[in-house]
Amino acid sequence: MNNKVILISIDGMRPDGVLRCGNAFVDELMQRGSYTMDAQTVFPSVTLPCHMSMFHSVPPERHGMTTNLYMPQVRPINGLFEQIAGAGGSCAMYYGWEPLRDVARPGSLRFAEYFNAYAADATDGYLTDRAIARIESDHPDFVFLYMVETDEKGGHDSGWMTDTYLGYISAAIDNVKRVVERFGDEYTVIVTADHGGHGRGHGSDDPQDMTIPMFFLGGRFAPGVALEQVTILDLAPTIASILGVPAAPEWEGKVL
Ligand SMILES: [Zn+2]
């Protein structure tokens, strides 16, 4: 495919968290690309339901996942991975939380690697290394890089907006920087979160849980533009459009 996309999901990253994390590359993301600090995720603001909506462009009441326990869809909808693979594209996925494996159906991934985030320190960085190596060797059309440490080791273990939480966001942004500096010319890079959080958790319809940041660098996205009225349902149609892949007929989001 002529246009390629890297999607990076930083689990549990709040907009005010990324703005306050102290990493200078956040300003660069906003200057070099289009962005929003008030995109909306879906309810319940829980990891698997939100990522199912990210890739299937329908709310949880349609795809059926309302907890982190995967259930086969009753009325199955193709997700982004299936649409790309069906059009002959190659997909890669790197992830630090095992239930996420179900966002892609068997047969839709050419490359994948999972590494339990609690098995070592800096697993986000390790998975970024692995994704970078694979992109350099095989140039997959679509790469999904999922970093869980901000949510698990930052939010749940220490509390949202604590120094520890902000430190994990800053470390995740360092990983984003490595990807953008290496592949920003070849790929459109999109950075998002699945949900926010408050206290030691998330899952409610509180704006602190429901509001997420998004950054779009390269390709059709003009520098320094603030996007409005964006939801997590818009990601799959937008990425499919960039790649030149048809959207599934059931998808409800819009192309940005
Ligand atoms: Zn999550």
CB 254 within 8 A of CB 20: no
Ligand 1: distance of its center to the CA of 6 in Å?
19
SS3 string, the chain, reads CCCEEEEEEECCCCHHHHHHCCCCHHHHHHHHCEEEEEEECCCCCCHHHHHHHHHHCCCHHHHCCCCCCCCCCCCCCCCHHHHHHHCCCCEEEEECCHHHHHHCCCCCCCEEEECCHHHCCCHHHHHHHHHHHHHHHHCCCEEEEEECHHHHHHHHHHCCCCHHHHHHHHHHHHHHHHHHHHHCCCEEEEEECCCCCECCECCCCCHHHHEEEEEEECCCCCCCCECCCCEHHHHHHHHHHHHCCCCCCCCCCCCC
pTM: 0.98
Ligand 1: distance of its center to the CA of 208 in Å?
13
Ligand 1: distance of its center to the CA of 248 in Å?
25
Ligand 1: distance of its center to the CA of 195 in Å?
6
Ligand 1: distance of its center to the CA of 106 in Å?
22
Q: Residue 62: its pLDDT value, please?
A: 97
Average pLDDT over residues 95-115: 97
The one-letter amino acid code at 152 reads E
Domain membership flag for residue 250: no
Ligand 1: distance of its center to the CA of 13 in Å?
9
Ligand 1: distance of its center to the CA of 54 in Å?
12
Domain membership flag for residue 252: no
Domain membership flag for residue 12: yes
Better-predicted residue by pLDDT, 1 or 7: 7
Ligand 1: distance of its center to the CA of 92 in Å?
20
> Per-residue pLDDT tens for 142-200?
999 999 999 999 999 999 999 999 999 999 999 999 999 999 999 999 999 999 999 99
Q: Residue 170: its pLDDT value, please?
A: 98
> Per-residue pLDDT tens for 119-138?
999 999 999 999 999 999 99
Domain membership flag for residue 184: yes
Q: Residue 241: its pLDDT value, please?
A: 98
Domain membership flag for residue 57: yes
Domain membership flag for residue 249: no
Domain membership flag for residue 248: no
Ligand 1: distance of its center to the CA of 15 in Å?
14
Ligand 1: distance of its center to the CA of 2 in Å?
31
Q: What is the count of structural domains for the chain?
A: 1
Ligand 1: distance of its center to the CA of 60 in Å?
14
Ligand 1: distance of its center to the CA of 130 in Å?
21
Ligand 1: distance of its center to the CA of 1 in Å?
30
Domain membership flag for residue 127: yes
- Structure token digits, residue 178: 């490595």
Ligand 1: distance of its center to the CA of 78 in Å?
22
Q: Residue 129: its pLDDT value, please?
A: 98
Domain containing 109: what range? 4-243
Token pair 């509001």 in the structure block, residue: 211
State residue 183 phi and psi, 5-degree precision.
-125, 10
What CATH number is attached to the domain comprising 52? 3.40.720.10
Q: Residue 230: its pLDDT value, please?
A: 98
CB 208 within 8 A of CB 197: yes
> Per-residue pLDDT tens for 15-68?
999 999 999 999 999 999 999 999 999 999 999 999 999 999 999 999 999 999
